[in-house]
Amino acid sequence: MDRIKIIGGNQLNGVIPISGAKNAALPLMIASLMTDDTLTLENVPHLADVEQLIRILGNHGVDYSVNGRREHQDNGYSRTIHFTARNIVDTTAPYELVSKMRASFWVIGPLLARMGEANVSLPGGCAIGTRPVDLLLECLIALGAEIDIDNGYAKARAPNGLIGAEYTFPKVSVGATHVMLMAAALAKGETIIHNAAREPEVVNLADCLNAMGAKISGAGNSTITIQGVTNLTGARVRVIPDRIETGTYAMAVAMTGGDVLLKGAQEELLSSALDTLRQTGAEITSTPEGIRVVRNGNGIKPVDITTEPFPGFPTDLQAQFMGLMTKAQGTSKITETIFENRFMHVQELARLGAKISLSGQTATVEGVERLKGAPVMATDLRASASLVIAGLAAEGETIINRVYHLDRGFEHLEEKLSRCGAQIERISG
């Protein structure tokens, strides 16, 4: 099993290209199930989750072809992938595939809308809370679906098609908003979604569906209106830059010091997190090429955060920010409101010398002057990134185990960091 070795203490200086967003690419890929034409996606990152979803889509009959890095364009490791679901050969998404990645459960919406049925295994994924699929199923029931849970599968039927409805989510859910957008796009009549997720990835999906012929308005706001259409066509759509990768590398620079251009990053996708980072003492400037992050030797100021749905501070950057706060000049409080078990990185950061105490959903971080390298273990995708940030500033050697978590969401992380001066390498086996 691969590991990552870091020798801490080096500043970061240079350019880091920001990849396409995993959390945007996955629902766009799933949208390919909704048409028998070809959906072409640009700027798709090369990640374990993307490859897993390609296998899941292939199980349903989706053909794909991949173009590599485009000529004359230095934009990271982006690919263009063409997806064609001309014939859906199977409406079952089996446990052995879905259990490896939660987002794959979202195929239930397009399959139900296009084929009138879906038989999808209940999902697996990161162990950061229960994250039940109830919201996803309830919104489909609101559109007229009949759903039974049997032997670990959600069996959904809508033999006469889905019917538009007005529905209010009891809590904000990005995944459920994705599913309802896709299902309602092919439903009969009008659907109005209240308390919808406002994340940029939702907007990217709505823009994709509209490019395919859907009639969706209001994405990015808490109320979204969908006028159902009878069919969708192919389209060519670009995956937005990854705001979580952007924030992670920005925090790495704030931790180590240095001067890095995050090429292709867009500030409007994570303005709350960048504003918070500015409060820690980092200088952050938007440029025509991306976002420049600078910290020239000044200490890290402690800042309190509370995770919130977009446009608030994202839960997917909470662990990384905690890693940064371990060396702040004072005490900070980090409150997690989205997932109930998203503090599993605390004990691993403590192995590096961090001082963190937990009380319910709030972590109190007392900044220390020095972190010291040690063997640590990644517990989930974002937690593993927090260990990288801490390791970059720790004295001596840090070995991060279970880096397959990182491979799910960060494209060529060690290569991007090493090009900017980090002493980091992957150890195979």
Catalytic residues: 126
User: Where would I find the H helices in 169-270?
Assistant: 174-185, 200-211, 243-256
Are the C-beta atoms of 98 and 105 separated by less than 8 Å?
A: yes
Are the C-beta atoms of 261 and 283 separated by less than 8 Å?
A: no
Confirm or deny that 66 is annotated as ligand binding. Answer: no
Contacts of 411 (CB under 8 A, 6+ apart): 19, 45, 46, 47, 76, 77, 245
Confirm or deny that 399 is annotated as ligand binding. Answer: no
Are the C-beta atoms of 33 and 88 separated by less than 8 Å?
A: yes
Confirm or deny that 132 is annotated as ligand binding. Answer: yes
Confirm or deny that 135 is annotated as ligand binding. Answer: yes
Confirm or deny that 215 is annotated as ligand binding. Answer: no
Confirm or deny that 102 is annotated as ligand binding. Answer: yes
Are the C-beta atoms of 241 and 18 separated by less than 8 Å?
A: yes
Contacts of 72 (CB under 8 A, 6+ apart): none
Confirm or deny that 253 is annotated as ligand binding. Answer: no
Phi, psi (degrees; rounded to nearest 5) at 258: 125, -160
Q: What length is written for the chain?
A: 429
What are residue 365's DSSP bridge partners?
332, 356
Are the C-beta atoms of 60 and 91 separated by less than 8 Å?
A: yes
Q: How far is 204 from 301, CA to CA, in rounded Å?
A: 34
Confirm or deny that 131 is annotated as ligand binding. Answer: yes
Tokens of 380: 């989930």
Phi-psi region of 404 (alpha: psi -120 to 50; beta: other; left: phi over 0): alpha
Q: How far is 46 from 239, CA to CA, in rounded Å?
A: 12
Secondary structure (3-state) at 187: coil
Confirm or deny that 269 is annotated as ligand binding. Answer: no
Tokens of 157: 């039927």
Q: How far is 144 from 142, CA to CA, in rounded Å?
A: 5
Beta strands at 153-157 and 146-150: parallel, antiparallel or unpaired: antiparallel
Tokens of 324: 């940064």
Element (DSSP H or E) covering residue 425: strand 423-427
Confirm or deny that 174 is annotated as ligand binding. Answer: yes
What distances in angstroms separate CA 205 from CA 67, 175, 225, 312, 412, one per listed residue?
A: 21, 11, 14, 20, 25
Confirm or deny that 150 is annotated as ligand binding. Answer: no
Choose among 61, 70, 63: nearest CA to 39: 63
Residues placed in the known binding site for phosphoenolpyruvate: 22-23
Residues placed in the known binding site: 22-23, 102, 131-135, 171-174, 316, 338
Residues placed in the known binding site for UDP-N-acetyl-alpha-D-glucosamine: 102, 131-135, 171-174, 316, 338
